[in-house]
Chains A and B, each alone.
Chain A
């Protein structure tokens, strides 16, 4: 089973080179949560334009008629979808399913995923970036914030691991 994934160090090297190329070409690192912010702001703007424009946080993304979807991160995330799909196809992992620990139900897993997603979405805005945008990219450029965010994410996850062990082991 284990051999079907790439050697983690090799995969890490590959990921690091991709990140390096992002710096070399575009002068910036990778990201993920920002693309969903763009998606959210763009769709909310269609429904309630004025509301978004006056919002203290979202407003700047639509100021001066900007389209938030026309951003580096949006295209990068489209690429991630494609890249993930190609990799999954090559390794025979394309399958519609809910992956969950056998001792919990699929519904419980989905509920947990939703809660986790909400927390992550909220935290990524507060922390100015998620694991890719703040922790990984931040560490690569030796940003103090990157190291702090990384330590806080992994520290908290370790700290809460025992509380949520029933979901995983």
Chain B
């Protein structure tokens, strides 16, 4: 059955409308979670507010379980679902730079859109920065082209690398998430800060 658009059960023309509707859901969920506040986002790294951890891992676990069950019931063909490619060195390099951007800027691109939508000027400035960053990357591309394309492993799944089934991997992630939630709630009590 699914995914509907790649299988042409729903026409390609509808894909953009679907994208827009899914975007509304995405923005709504982020904003309701409090991701429109850099204060809440940065809270994770000081332990006073671990909402990022909770939302992020709950969402990942939900979607992961959903995909596995959909596949089990034959509702979705996982071969037609995009799996991000792994370029190991640029994934780590990019992740490190993004991590620095996260703690300095207090947003990530998705959350900053949400925050900009409700009038946060800092988020709009952050977004301007994002565009500048992409511009720098594109204009200086020859300088880091080699690094960008290094360590290409194809599109592996972590379960394949570890040699377990997708289901076992999901169970491991659920257990890891449960432990992290427990630590997070403990940290929130320990490092409470007043809101502003």
Contact = CB atoms under 8 A, between A and B. Distances in A.
B101 A120 contact: yes
A78 B103 CA distance: 26
B5 interface: yes
A57 B185 CA distance: 43
Contacts of A152: 91-92, 94-96, 98-99
Chain B interface, DSSP helix/strand/loop, else mixed:
helix
Given A75-B20, A141-B81, A84 B93 contact: no
Give the bracket for the number of chain A residues in contact with chain B: 35 or more
B155 A136 contact: no
A67 interface: no
B29 A123 contact: no
A116 B107 contact: yes
Given A5-B34, A8-B51, A88-B117, A156 B95 contact: yes
Interface in A51-82: 55-58, 70, 72-82
B173 interface: yes
A17 B137 contact: no
A49 interface: no
Contacts of B156: 143-144
Contacts, number: 545
Contact of B58 (A8, A40, A167): A8
A74 B58 CA distance: 26
B95 A23 contact: no
Interface residues of B, number: 134
Q: Which of B42, B81, B84 has the most CB of A within 10 A?
A: B84
A169 B193 contact: yes
B26 to A, nearest CB: 5
Contacts of A126: 90, 93-94, 97, 137, 144, 147-148
A98 B109 contact: no
A128 B94 contact: yes
Nearest to B155: A143
16 contacts: A5-B34, A13-B58, A23-B66, A76-B20, A87-B118, A98-B120, A116-B107, A120-B133, A121-B129, A123-B133, A124-B109, A136-B63, A141-B67, A144-B157, A152-B94, A169-B48
Interface of B: 2-6, 10, 15-34, 36-40, 42-46, 48, 51, 54-64, 66-67, 70, 75-76, 78, 80-88, 90-123, 125-139, 141-142, 144-145, 147-148, 153, 155-161, 166, 169-170, 173, 193, 195-196
Given A30-B26, A117-B128, 6 more contacts: A25-B15, A79-B24, A83-B25, A84-B36, A114-B128, A126-B97
Instruction: Report, nearest first, the 8 A-B pairs whose CB atoms are least far apart.
Output: A116-B105, A117-B129, A79-B23, A127-B94, A121-B133, A152-B95, A16-B62, A12-B58
Interface of A: 1-2, 5-6, 8-9, 11-33, 36-37, 39-41, 44, 55-58, 70, 72-88, 91, 93-102, 109-110, 112-161, 164-165, 167-169
